[in-house]
Structure 1
């Protein structure tokens, strides 16, 4: 069974992530297939625009297959725990290359972001030229809960959000619906999930002789124009998020969210993820976003590749995956165990440059 299905209709290249059982989670073979398609279609006269979707109704993509990465880390630890596992390096470097290619693609890329879109799924969606969400969309970057950090370009897109939403979402893994995504700039169009066939049919009948970006925009504007967008929880919490704008340290963030007097369900859910998450991750995320504010897109992916590889040789990533997906005891033993146990030297060690196969350029 092919992990990625393709068809071309009227110069529209339709790509379907085809692993419905795993909610279309990204494995290395799937990433490699995607890369091959993107590369082939970049210069093909047969394809004028791309439409990316997930198989089934439940998800575009629930993220990367971190269980496989866990296995690679554990196997490498038995041999030499200071070395980055090759499978992990291959996974992250190839995943980020695909993400970078979508950001810089020379043709319109439409992404159907209905259902679950998490972690690596957001990486595929966020750089597209035309990003669609629906009433079924559920997006999040919950990496703090597995000892990782919001990668796949998170340094780039979280820093582009209004107010302090980027740092808040990074540290709490807060869930977003379609209305939130539109409000925060993660999506361009909100429409009913039943509209997909209408879009594909319109694309199949489109006249591609003029500007294809404009042609796609006109089609999506027409289909989405009468859709009512519900109220966004993120928008309703804008005033609360403004409290974090001047925060200079993770401890300050922690004090603010813990002691906020008027907590509702949305805030409590974020607080729960933050307090249960890896203390090292909290510090890494804070530094990642502060340091990465002015990086170019290519520099963002280079720095994230280094940081992700470092996470593979630090303890918390494997431990977070073990607790969530392997033993499923939901009781990760983080090292260090609390925010206050963490030293500057420890966080510096995550950002130390690795000489792994001399990171290739993404351009």
Structure 2
């Protein structure tokens, strides 16, 4: 008998969800998204459940994102409708986590990427450990930071979120706390003690009792040159400032951005700037849904996943190949309302947090 992809448990006053695909770094399938939402909906009205916790099986990852290979298959040999429904339901889950009426404790140990960020960083109590690595790697696969990533990163201090998004970088526990992606730090060996405590103790008191001081935040220390370089909404100007900066890390950032999908870099920067002015997460998710559907039709998404995940040759051929050849107007237009033809093609309407 195969193992369930999601383990749903009641332990005292705790509702515990364990993502159970450790060999796949607990990557989310559509079925897992639906099961998590069903459990949350059931526990929301259950007075016996005071707190919910979400964790990943194994030591390597909380969640490495969505099922990218399945999305790639739909982009290259399907009609895109399966991907559209997955994103619709995943984003609805992200919104439900953000507005959940009870504490949700996300145990963000190990790798936390893409969809794993959406599953954890909108929770009320976000716990990181010494093994945590959080990132939004989307520009490296021809995609955009979604699952509320534009909302989260646009609200990080200064331009740190912009830097992380455009370079597809990742950060450890200290920087996750500094960027507003996490709330508390625990040594990894205390995670099981926290889960046990949550069976009877309130989330705030259990986390306060078991947490420790925040570790160092090396990216935060780089904020002066990052803020100076990433200001504005022109990706070419950002690259020019990075090239001209005296810091070697700035030159590394420029090289990293040039290796990413030019379309994704341009769309991502425009999306981050738009998200700064949005009133809430749900507006950002609605915009990201449009961006995701259009990215699915872009040749860069299929090529990026091929190069990074399937063939793993790490040599994508982007179209267009450089930021200089990217139409800036196209980047800003990517978040426009869906056209009737797009709604018919994907068999979805505009996203709402139903």
Report the TM range for the smaller structure's normalisation.
over 0.9
Match of 2:237 in 1: 252
CA distance in 2, matches of 1:229, 1:292: 28
Q: Distance in 1 between matches of 2:88 and 2:95?
A: 10
Q: Equivalent residue of 1:310, what SS?
A: helix
Show the counterpart of 1:15. Answer: 17
Counterpart position of 1:340: 324
Q: Find the partner of 1:216 among 183, 192, 203.
A: 203
Alignment TM-score, normalising by the size of structure 2: 0.93
Q: How do 1:142-153 and structure 2 match up within 5 A?
A: 142-153=137-148
3-state SS of paired residue (2:334): helix
Is the contact made by 2:233 and 2:273 (CA closer than 8 Å) also made in structure 1? no
Contact 2:266 2:328 in 1 (8 A): no
Q: Give distance in 2, aligned partners of 1:150 and 1:31.
A: 18
Contiguous gaps of at least 5 residues in structure 2? none
Q: Show structure 1 runs of 4+ deviating over 3 A.
A: 267-272
Map 1:97-116 onto structure 2 (within 5 A).
97-116=92-111
Q: Which residue of 1 aligns with 2:214?
A: 229
Unpaired runs of at least 5, structure 1: 77-83, 207-214
Q: Over aligned residue pairs, what C-alpha RMSD do you find?
A: 1.6
SS of structure 2 residue aligned to 1:351? coil
Aligned twin of 1:182: 177
Query: What's 1:80 paired with?
Result: none
What's the offset of the Cα at 1:197? 1.7
Taking the aligned partners of 1:343 and 1:268, their CA distance within structure 2 comes to: 24
Matched residue SS, 2:318:
coil
1:26-54: CA deviations, max 9, x gaps?
11111111121112112122311101000
**1:154-165 equivalent positions in 2, closer than 5 A:** 154-165=149-160
Structure 1 counterpart of 2:125: 130
**TM-score (ref. length: structure 1):** 0.91
In the alignment, is residue 71 of structure 1 matched against residue 73 of structure 2?
A: yes
Provide the rounded CA distance (Å) in 1 between the counterparts of 2:332 and 2:282. Answer: 22
Structure 1 residue 302: Cα displacement: 0.9
Q: Distance in 1 between matches of 2:248 and 2:325?
A: 27
1:324 aligns with 2:311: no
CA distance in 1, matches of 2:304, 2:256: 13
Distance in structure 1 (CA, Å) of the matches to 2:132 and 2:265: 26
Q: Tell me: CA distance 1:31–1:192, structure 2 relative to 1, closer, same or farther (3 Å).
A: same
1:182 touches 1:188 (CA, 8 Å); kept in 2? Answer: yes
CA distance in 2, matches of 1:345, 1:156: 22
Give yes or no for contact 1:163–1:245 (8 Å, CA) kept in 2: no
For 2:70 and 2:93, how far apart are their aligned partners in 1? Answer: 19
**8 A Cα contact 2:74 2:80, kept in partner:** yes
Shift of 1:128: 0.5
Segment drifting more, 325-334 vs 10-19: 325-334
Which deviates further from its counterpart, 114-123 or 245-254?
245-254
Instruction: For 2:251 and 2:217, locate their aligned partners in 1 and report how far apart those are by CA, in whole Å.
Output: 17
| CA gap 1:307/1:234 in 2 versus in 1, 3 angstroms | same
Shift of residue 9, structure 1, vs aligned partner: 1.2
- 1:74 Cα deviation after fit: 0.9
Q: Distance in 2 between matches of 1:44 and 1:360?
A: 28
1:233 is paired with a residue of what secondary structure?
Answer: coil
Q: Partner residue of 1:54?
A: 56
Distance 1:65 1:273 in 2: 24
Distance in 2 between residues matched to 1:186 and 1:52, nearest whole Å: 16
Contact 1:118 1:141 in 2 (8 A): yes
Retained in 2: the 8 A contact 1:145–1:273? no
Residue in 1 aligned with 2:274?
A: 291
Structure 1 residue 362 corresponds to structure 2 residue 353:
yes
- 27 and 268 in structure 1: CA distance in 2 versus 1, 3 angstrom threshold: farther
Aligned pair count reads: 344
1:261 aligned partner: 246
The question of 1:96 aligning with 2:91 is answered yes
Contact 2:245-2:251 at 8 Å conserved across structures: no
Task: Note closer, same or farther for the CA distance 1:345–1:248 as it changes in structure 2 (3 Å cut).
Answer: closer
Aligned to 1:314: 298
Q: Which residue of 2 aligns with 1:79?
A: none
What is the rounded CA distance, in whole Å, between the counterparts of 1:349 and 1:164 in structure 2? 23
